[in-house]
Amino acid sequence: MRVGFGYDVHRLKDGRKCILCGVEIPSDFGPDGHSDADVAVHALIDALLGAVALGDIGTHFPDTDEKWKNADSIKMLQSTFSLISSMGYHLGNADITIVMESPKLSPYIEKMRSSLAKAMDVDISNISVKATTEEKLGFTGEGAGVSSSAIVLLLTT
């Protein structure tokens, strides 16, 4: 068994698409970044890489690389997950928390779970996505940014 933890933050910017766990959420603003800035998928990728002690998302998908400009983070997740599979591991379960003041994410949670389950070809019962706010405190509370953390359990195949 291997456990991994990941954490990521992105600034929120007007006019950016709001893509979380591969799902586009209707919003006038979204996470800013080199790729599609899917903060939840980035945290999940870091958790997967952390579980096998293979560095972090920046090592595997450098933001200086034009290849990953506006990249679909789900593709980065799939590439990370196939690396992990090739090492003889499969996903036990993943648990992700997104911290964002607005928009309200609860209507999209099931879509997000199924998007991640599909990307990694695992049963949806093994994927948990939760959303919370920080009660208007700090950078997420002010709406300046969005953060996400993720934990995964990998099992040997």
Which listed range, 1-9, 45-53, 119-127, 147-155, lies at the site for Mg ion (CB under 5 A)?
Answer: 1-9
Comparing CB distances to Mg ion, the nearer of 46 and 101 is: 46
- Does position 36 interact with Mg ion (CB under 5 A)? The reply is no
- Does position 46 interact with Mg ion (CB under 5 A)? The reply is no
Provide, rounded to whole angstroms, the least separation between the CB of residue 39 and Mg ion: 6
Q: Is 118 exposed, middle or buried (0-12, 13-18, 19+ CB in 10 A)?
A: middle
Q: Is 136 exposed, middle or buried (0-12, 13-18, 19+ CB in 10 A)?
A: exposed
- Does position 8 interact with Mg ion (CB under 5 A)? The reply is yes
Provide, rounded to whole angstroms, the least separation between the CB of residue 156 and Mg ion: 29
CB 56 within 8 A of CB 49: yes
Cβ-closest residue to Mg ion? Answer: 42
Binder among 42, 47, 49, 145 for Mg ion (CB under 5 A): 42
What is the chain's length?
A: 157
Provide, rounded to whole angstroms, the least separation between the CB of residue 117 and Mg ion: 21
How far lies 35's CA from each of 58, 61, 152, in Å? 12, 10, 23
Provide, rounded to whole angstroms, the least separation between the CB of residue 120 and Mg ion: 18
CB 23 within 8 A of CB 112: yes
Residues at the contact surface with Mg ion, assessed by CB under 5 A = 8, 42
